[in-house]
Structure 1
Amino acid sequence: MSGLLEKAKEYVSEKVAEMKKPEATLRSVGLKEVSRECITYDAKVSVSNPYSTSIPICEVSYTLKSANREIASGTIQDPGSLKGNESTVLDVGLNVPHSVLWSLARDIGEDWDIDYDLGINLVIDLPVFGNISIPASSKGEIKLPTFTDLWTT
Protein backbone atom coordinates (compact mmCIF):
# COMPACT_ATOMS: atom_id res chain seq x y z
CA MET A 1 0.00 0.00 0.00
CA SER A 2 2.82 2.42 0.84
CA GLY A 3 4.42 1.74 -2.57
CA LEU A 4 1.21 2.79 -4.31
CA LEU A 5 1.05 5.94 -2.23
CA GLU A 6 4.67 6.79 -3.12
CA LYS A 7 3.97 6.30 -6.85
CA ALA A 8 0.94 8.58 -6.58
CA LYS A 9 3.03 11.26 -4.85
CA GLU A 10 5.71 11.02 -7.55
CA TYR A 11 3.10 11.26 -10.31
CA VAL A 12 1.51 14.35 -8.79
CA SER A 13 4.94 15.95 -8.20
CA GLU A 14 5.91 15.39 -11.84
CA LYS A 15 2.65 16.89 -13.12
CA VAL A 16 2.98 19.93 -10.87
CA ALA A 17 6.59 20.45 -12.01
CA GLU A 18 5.50 20.29 -15.67
CA MET A 19 2.65 22.79 -15.19
CA LYS A 20 3.03 26.21 -16.75
CA LYS A 21 3.30 28.92 -14.14
CA PRO A 22 2.82 32.68 -14.39
CA GLU A 23 6.02 34.59 -15.17
CA ALA A 24 7.00 38.18 -14.37
CA THR A 25 9.35 40.52 -16.22
CA LEU A 26 10.45 44.01 -15.20
CA ARG A 27 9.86 46.24 -18.24
CA SER A 28 11.01 49.66 -17.06
CA VAL A 29 11.74 51.92 -14.12
CA GLY A 30 11.15 55.66 -14.43
CA LEU A 31 10.40 58.85 -12.54
CA LYS A 32 6.78 59.16 -11.44
CA GLU A 33 6.60 62.01 -8.92
CA VAL A 34 8.70 64.35 -6.82
CA SER A 35 7.30 65.48 -3.48
CA ARG A 36 8.63 67.06 -0.30
CA GLU A 37 8.89 63.67 1.41
CA CYS A 38 10.33 61.47 -1.33
CA ILE A 39 10.92 60.75 -4.98
CA THR A 40 8.55 58.14 -6.37
CA TYR A 41 9.66 55.92 -9.21
CA ASP A 42 7.35 53.69 -11.20
CA ALA A 43 8.35 50.11 -12.00
CA LYS A 44 6.32 48.45 -14.73
CA VAL A 45 6.07 44.68 -14.26
CA SER A 46 4.58 42.51 -16.98
CA VAL A 47 3.05 39.27 -15.67
CA SER A 48 1.85 36.55 -18.04
CA ASN A 49 -0.97 34.26 -16.92
CA PRO A 50 -1.09 30.94 -18.83
CA TYR A 51 -4.42 29.93 -17.26
CA SER A 52 -7.86 30.69 -18.69
CA THR A 53 -9.16 32.18 -15.45
CA SER A 54 -8.01 35.26 -13.60
CA ILE A 55 -5.70 34.80 -10.62
CA PRO A 56 -5.77 37.07 -7.56
CA ILE A 57 -2.51 38.75 -6.55
CA CYS A 58 -2.13 38.63 -2.78
CA GLU A 59 0.76 41.08 -2.52
CA VAL A 60 3.67 42.67 -4.32
CA SER A 61 6.84 43.35 -2.36
CA TYR A 62 9.91 45.20 -3.58
CA THR A 63 13.47 45.95 -2.53
CA LEU A 64 15.50 48.67 -4.25
CA LYS A 65 19.25 48.61 -3.64
CA SER A 66 22.06 50.89 -4.68
CA ALA A 67 25.74 50.62 -3.77
CA ASN A 68 24.90 47.32 -2.03
CA ARG A 69 22.53 48.96 0.43
CA GLU A 70 18.78 49.01 0.58
CA ILE A 71 17.37 52.43 -0.25
CA ALA A 72 13.68 51.54 -0.48
CA SER A 73 11.40 48.62 0.26
CA GLY A 74 7.73 48.06 0.67
CA THR A 75 4.70 45.84 0.21
CA ILE A 76 1.50 46.48 -1.71
CA GLN A 77 -1.40 44.41 -0.41
CA ASP A 78 -4.09 43.10 -2.79
CA PRO A 79 -3.10 45.01 -5.97
CA GLY A 80 -5.72 43.26 -8.14
CA SER A 81 -5.63 40.16 -10.31
CA LEU A 82 -4.03 38.73 -13.44
CA LYS A 83 -6.35 38.42 -16.43
CA GLY A 84 -6.77 34.93 -17.89
CA ASN A 85 -4.58 33.99 -20.90
CA GLU A 86 -3.09 37.50 -21.01
CA SER A 87 -0.21 39.60 -19.81
CA THR A 88 -1.04 42.16 -17.17
CA VAL A 89 1.15 45.21 -16.56
CA LEU A 90 1.41 46.24 -12.91
CA ASP A 91 2.62 49.67 -11.83
CA VAL A 92 4.67 49.39 -8.64
CA GLY A 93 5.46 52.70 -6.94
CA LEU A 94 8.91 52.87 -5.34
CA ASN A 95 9.23 55.61 -2.71
CA VAL A 96 12.83 56.77 -2.17
CA PRO A 97 13.23 59.23 0.73
CA HIS A 98 15.36 62.31 0.02
CA SER A 99 17.58 61.51 3.03
CA VAL A 100 18.80 58.32 1.31
CA LEU A 101 19.94 60.29 -1.72
CA TRP A 102 22.45 62.23 0.40
CA SER A 103 24.10 58.98 1.46
CA LEU A 104 24.53 58.03 -2.22
CA ALA A 105 26.16 61.35 -3.10
CA ARG A 106 29.29 59.85 -4.67
CA ASP A 107 27.35 57.68 -7.14
CA ILE A 108 24.88 60.49 -7.88
CA GLY A 109 27.62 63.11 -8.34
CA GLU A 110 29.36 61.14 -11.08
CA ASP A 111 26.47 60.92 -13.54
CA TRP A 112 23.30 62.26 -11.85
CA ASP A 113 21.69 58.85 -11.63
CA ILE A 114 21.35 55.95 -9.21
CA ASP A 115 22.73 52.57 -10.23
CA TYR A 116 20.12 50.18 -8.90
CA ASP A 117 19.30 46.54 -8.29
CA LEU A 118 15.53 46.05 -8.02
CA GLY A 119 13.89 42.87 -6.81
CA ILE A 120 10.12 42.42 -7.00
CA ASN A 121 8.21 39.45 -5.65
CA LEU A 122 4.57 38.78 -6.52
CA VAL A 123 2.56 36.38 -4.39
CA ILE A 124 -0.43 34.88 -6.20
CA ASP A 125 -3.10 32.54 -4.90
CA LEU A 126 -3.54 29.44 -7.07
CA PRO A 127 -6.49 27.22 -6.16
CA VAL A 128 -5.43 23.81 -4.80
CA PHE A 129 -1.71 24.81 -4.67
CA GLY A 130 -2.04 27.88 -2.45
CA ASN A 131 0.28 30.89 -2.52
CA ILE A 132 3.07 30.89 -5.11
CA SER A 133 5.86 33.49 -5.34
CA ILE A 134 6.90 34.92 -8.71
CA PRO A 135 10.21 36.79 -8.57
CA ALA A 136 11.43 39.44 -11.04
CA SER A 137 14.61 41.48 -10.89
CA SER A 138 16.47 44.10 -12.87
CA LYS A 139 19.64 46.16 -12.72
CA GLY A 140 20.11 49.55 -14.35
CA GLU A 141 20.21 53.29 -13.82
CA ILE A 142 17.50 55.62 -12.55
CA LYS A 143 17.91 59.22 -13.63
CA LEU A 144 17.36 61.75 -10.89
CA PRO A 145 15.11 64.75 -11.44
CA THR A 146 16.76 68.01 -12.48
CA PHE A 147 15.78 71.42 -11.10
CA THR A 148 13.41 71.91 -14.03
CA ASP A 149 11.67 68.64 -13.10
CA LEU A 150 11.15 69.95 -9.56
CA TRP A 151 9.50 73.16 -10.79
CA THR A 152 7.22 71.51 -13.35
CA THR A 153 5.60 68.94 -11.04
Structure 2
Amino acid sequence: MGSSEEEKASGISKLLERARGYVAEKLANIPTPEASVTDVNFKAANRDSVDYVANVAVKNPYPHPIPICQISYILKSNTRAIASGTMPDPGSLKAKDTTMLDVPMKIPYGIAVSLVRDIGADWDIDYQLDLGLTIDLPVVGDITIPLSTKGEIKLPTLKDLF
Protein backbone atom coordinates (compact mmCIF):
# COMPACT_ATOMS: atom_id res chain seq x y z
CA MET A 1 0.00 0.00 0.00
CA GLY A 2 1.42 3.42 -1.00
CA SER A 3 1.52 6.44 1.26
CA SER A 4 -1.52 8.08 -0.40
CA GLU A 5 -3.58 4.94 0.23
CA GLU A 6 -2.42 4.93 3.86
CA GLU A 7 -3.39 8.60 4.18
CA LYS A 8 -6.85 7.83 2.74
CA ALA A 9 -7.31 4.92 5.15
CA SER A 10 -6.16 7.08 8.04
CA GLY A 11 -8.53 9.89 6.96
CA ILE A 12 -11.47 7.49 6.73
CA SER A 13 -10.56 6.03 10.12
CA LYS A 14 -10.50 9.52 11.67
CA LEU A 15 -13.81 10.40 10.01
CA LEU A 16 -15.45 7.21 11.34
CA GLU A 17 -14.06 7.89 14.81
CA ARG A 18 -15.47 11.44 14.76
CA ALA A 19 -18.83 10.11 13.54
CA ARG A 20 -18.92 7.54 16.37
CA GLY A 21 -18.13 10.26 18.91
CA TYR A 22 -20.82 12.53 17.47
CA VAL A 23 -23.47 9.80 17.54
CA ALA A 24 -22.49 8.72 21.08
CA GLU A 25 -22.68 12.34 22.28
CA LYS A 26 -26.08 12.90 20.65
CA LEU A 27 -27.48 9.65 22.09
CA ALA A 28 -26.19 10.54 25.56
CA ASN A 29 -27.99 13.89 25.39
CA ILE A 30 -31.34 12.52 24.18
CA PRO A 31 -33.98 13.24 26.80
CA THR A 32 -35.69 10.15 28.15
CA PRO A 33 -39.03 9.81 29.88
CA GLU A 34 -38.88 10.14 33.67
CA ALA A 35 -40.86 7.82 35.92
CA SER A 36 -41.71 7.57 39.61
CA VAL A 37 -43.84 5.33 41.80
CA THR A 38 -46.44 7.58 43.44
CA ASP A 39 -48.18 5.00 45.63
CA VAL A 40 -48.75 1.31 46.37
CA ASN A 41 -52.24 0.42 47.60
CA PHE A 42 -54.32 -2.57 48.63
CA LYS A 43 -56.83 -3.41 45.89
CA ALA A 44 -58.62 -6.63 46.82
CA ALA A 45 -58.35 -9.93 48.63
CA ASN A 46 -59.65 -13.26 47.44
CA ARG A 47 -59.10 -16.94 48.16
CA ASP A 48 -55.95 -17.18 46.04
CA SER A 49 -54.17 -13.89 46.59
CA VAL A 50 -54.02 -10.41 48.00
CA ASP A 51 -53.98 -7.84 45.20
CA TYR A 52 -52.12 -4.54 45.31
CA VAL A 53 -51.64 -1.86 42.68
CA ALA A 54 -48.61 0.37 42.15
CA ASN A 55 -49.35 3.79 40.67
CA VAL A 56 -46.55 4.94 38.36
CA ALA A 57 -46.29 8.44 36.86
CA VAL A 58 -44.29 8.67 33.62
CA LYS A 59 -43.45 12.03 32.05
CA ASN A 60 -42.90 11.96 28.26
CA PRO A 61 -40.75 14.87 26.97
CA TYR A 62 -41.52 14.13 23.30
CA PRO A 63 -44.26 15.66 21.11
CA HIS A 64 -45.48 12.19 20.10
CA PRO A 65 -46.74 9.14 22.02
CA ILE A 66 -44.18 6.47 22.96
CA PRO A 67 -45.17 2.79 23.05
CA ILE A 68 -44.57 0.92 26.31
CA CYS A 69 -43.26 -2.58 25.61
CA GLN A 70 -43.68 -3.98 29.12
CA ILE A 71 -43.47 -3.31 32.82
CA SER A 72 -41.75 -5.89 35.01
CA TYR A 73 -41.79 -5.84 38.81
CA ILE A 74 -40.49 -7.55 41.93
CA LEU A 75 -42.13 -6.77 45.29
CA LYS A 76 -39.96 -7.68 48.28
CA SER A 77 -40.43 -7.73 52.01
CA ASN A 78 -37.30 -8.08 54.14
CA THR A 79 -35.29 -8.88 50.97
CA ARG A 80 -37.63 -11.81 50.23
CA ALA A 81 -39.52 -11.68 46.92
CA ILE A 82 -43.23 -11.91 47.67
CA ALA A 83 -44.57 -11.09 44.20
CA SER A 84 -43.16 -10.68 40.71
CA GLY A 85 -44.46 -10.47 37.21
CA THR A 86 -44.59 -8.76 33.86
CA MET A 87 -47.29 -6.59 32.39
CA PRO A 88 -46.92 -6.86 28.58
CA ASP A 89 -47.96 -4.02 26.25
CA PRO A 90 -49.61 -1.66 28.79
CA GLY A 91 -50.26 1.02 26.14
CA SER A 92 -48.45 4.25 25.25
CA LEU A 93 -47.17 7.34 26.99
CA LYS A 94 -49.12 10.49 26.11
CA ALA A 95 -47.24 13.09 24.07
CA LYS A 96 -45.71 15.96 26.13
CA ASP A 97 -47.67 14.87 29.21
CA THR A 98 -47.60 12.66 32.29
CA THR A 99 -49.22 9.25 31.96
CA MET A 100 -50.45 7.41 35.07
CA LEU A 101 -50.01 3.64 34.93
CA ASP A 102 -51.51 1.11 37.32
CA VAL A 103 -49.37 -1.99 37.79
CA PRO A 104 -51.36 -4.85 39.37
CA MET A 105 -49.46 -7.15 41.75
CA LYS A 106 -50.68 -10.41 43.29
CA ILE A 107 -49.28 -11.77 46.53
CA PRO A 108 -50.21 -15.46 46.76
CA TYR A 109 -52.37 -16.21 49.80
CA GLY A 110 -49.78 -18.56 51.37
CA ILE A 111 -47.14 -15.82 51.32
CA ALA A 112 -49.63 -13.26 52.70
CA VAL A 113 -50.42 -15.60 55.60
CA SER A 114 -46.72 -16.03 56.40
CA LEU A 115 -46.36 -12.22 56.35
CA VAL A 116 -49.25 -11.88 58.82
CA ARG A 117 -47.33 -14.04 61.28
CA ASP A 118 -44.27 -11.81 60.92
CA ILE A 119 -45.86 -8.36 61.15
CA GLY A 120 -47.16 -8.26 64.71
CA ALA A 121 -49.61 -5.59 65.84
CA ASP A 122 -49.07 -2.80 63.30
CA TRP A 123 -50.61 -4.81 60.43
CA ASP A 124 -48.33 -3.37 57.78
CA ILE A 125 -45.27 -4.66 56.01
CA ASP A 126 -42.16 -2.88 54.87
CA TYR A 127 -41.63 -3.38 51.17
CA GLN A 128 -39.26 -2.62 48.36
CA LEU A 129 -40.70 -2.43 44.86
CA ASP A 130 -38.34 -2.71 41.89
CA LEU A 131 -39.88 -1.88 38.52
CA GLY A 132 -38.50 -1.92 35.00
CA LEU A 133 -40.42 0.19 32.49
CA THR A 134 -39.37 -0.81 28.95
CA ILE A 135 -40.25 1.72 26.24
CA ASP A 136 -39.54 1.87 22.51
CA LEU A 137 -37.78 5.14 21.59
CA PRO A 138 -37.62 5.90 17.87
CA VAL A 139 -34.09 5.55 16.41
CA VAL A 140 -32.64 4.47 19.78
CA GLY A 141 -34.77 1.33 20.27
CA ASP A 142 -35.94 -0.31 23.49
CA ILE A 143 -34.70 1.18 26.76
CA THR A 144 -35.61 0.17 30.29
CA ILE A 145 -36.14 2.79 32.97
CA PRO A 146 -35.34 1.23 36.36
CA LEU A 147 -37.39 2.33 39.38
CA SER A 148 -37.10 1.37 43.01
CA THR A 149 -39.13 2.55 45.97
CA LYS A 150 -39.56 1.54 49.60
CA GLY A 151 -42.47 2.02 51.97
CA GLU A 152 -45.13 0.34 54.05
CA ILE A 153 -48.35 -1.25 52.90
CA LYS A 154 -51.25 -2.41 54.99
CA LEU A 155 -52.29 -6.02 54.87
CA PRO A 156 -56.03 -6.65 54.46
CA THR A 157 -58.15 -7.00 57.56
CA LEU A 158 -61.03 -9.45 58.02
CA LYS A 159 -63.37 -6.65 56.96
CA ASP A 160 -61.51 -6.41 53.61
CA LEU A 161 -61.82 -10.16 53.08
CA PHE A 162 -65.58 -10.30 53.56
| TM tier relative to shorter chain | over 0.9
Counterpart CA distance in 2 for 1:30 and 1:51 is 30
Counterpart CA distance in 2 for 1:135 and 1:92 is 14
TM-score by length of 2: 0.89
Partner residue, 2:119: 108
The one-letter code sitting in structure 2 at the alignment partner of 1:8 is A
Does 1:14 pair with 2:25?
yes
Counterpart CA distance in 2 for 1:105 and 1:43 is 21
Deviates most, 8-17 or 101-110: 101-110
Counterpart CA distance in 2 for 1:25 and 1:138 is 9
SS in 2 for 1:111: coil
Partner residue, 1:48: 59
Q: Percent identity?
A: 55
Select the structure of larger CA radius of gyration.
2
| Contact 2:116/2:123 (8 A) holds in 1 | no
Q: Which runs of 5+ in 1 are unaligned?
A: none
Counterpart CA distance in 2 for 1:91 and 1:7 is 44
**CA RMSD, aligned part only?**
1.1
TM-score by length of 1: 0.95
Partner residue, 2:158: 147
State the 1:23 CA deviation: 1.0
| Contact 2:50/2:112 (8 A) holds in 1 | no
Counterpart CA distance in 2 for 1:18 and 1:128 is 14
The one-letter code sitting in structure 2 at the alignment partner of 1:126 is L
Counterpart CA distance in 2 for 1:107 and 1:45 is 28
1:29-48 map, 5 Å = 29-48=40-59
Displaced runs of 4 or more, over 3 A: none
1:37-76 map, 5 Å = 37-76=48-87
Partner residue, 2:39: 28
